[in-house]
Amino acid sequence: MSTDATRATVGRDLWNKVPEVTIFFWIIKILATTVGETAADYLNENLGLGLTVTTYLMTGLFLVALIVQFRTKRYVPLVYWVTVVLISIVGTLITDNLTDKYGVALELTTAVFAIALAATFLVWYREERTLSIHAINTRRREAFYWLAILFTFALGTAAGDLIAERFNVGYWKSAVLFGGCIATVYLAWKVFHLNEVLAFWIAYILTRPLGASVGDFLSQPTRNGGQDLGTTATSVIFLSLILVVVVFLTITKRDQAGPQPDPAGAT
């Protein structure tokens, strides 16, 4: 390979495939997790597709989006966030299938997904020597990244349902609880210098049950502790907000950066 071609390949690989972590990142992430909860319920219950058909349908759409995401050369807001919304729905459906269809206890699904996520991080770090999302610049790292994201959504769904429903904490109280945990992580990072990568992944996991609790609180009937807004209205509102923010980011490029240095020194 020529020197020029080598430079071109390295330059392409050094473009990060995920957004910079800004306030907009967390806004869309929480909105997407809410949609993941309400859209899954809408397709399953309101449209009467059932868990099996809904799971097959959304998994197929997610795989198409993931292929498109892998084929991009750098971060593209619309492609990336469509993939996140779909993986949020799929992660919810995985947990719902295990608990509702197969009767697996939420305590067990929470533990299993926690172990699966920890194993993913362990193998990822062993292979790449970094878990930083500032260097998702190879296909292997991107594969680890999306596998970890899938497990965070499944884990967050199980943990959120466990606390809100099984432990009978309630939706709005669960939202306050998880929001407080995220605030604690932020303070630990900002004030006590908690490792940045560790803080990010803890907060990322916690946003899933936070968004799910918000979604359930808004959509569920008042007799179940919700506001009876319905899954249709809740999903449409939050999807519209996601679209507005994504369009804004596409135009302003506020969550995009140029080629980044590799924290592990790998190519």
Is the separation of the CB atoms in 6 and 263 below 8 Å? no
| Spatial separation of the C-alpha atoms in residues 250 and 19, rounded to whole Å | 11
Is the separation of the CB atoms in 163 and 177 below 8 Å? yes
Buried b (16+ CB within 10 A) or exposed e, 144-155: bbbbbbbbbbbb
AA letter at 35: V
196 Rama class: left (phi>0) / alpha (psi -120 to 50) / beta: alpha
| Spatial separation of the C-alpha atoms in residues 265 and 255, rounded to whole Å | 23
Q: Is 222 exposed, middle or buried (0-12, 13-18, 19+ CB in 10 A)?
A: exposed
Give the pLDDT of the chain (267 residues) as one tens digit per residue: 333 333 333 334 457 899 999 999 999 999 999 998 899 888 888 888 899 999 999 999 999 999 999 999 999 999 999 999 999 999 999 999 999 899 999 999 999 999 999 999 999 999 999 999 988 989 999 999 999 999 999 998 898 889 988 888 989 999 999 999 999 999 999 999 999 999 999 999 999 899 888 988 999 898 888 899 999 999 999 999 999 999 999 999 999 865 555 666 543
Terminal alpha carbon distance of the chain: 16
Is the separation of the CB atoms in 178 and 214 below 8 Å? no
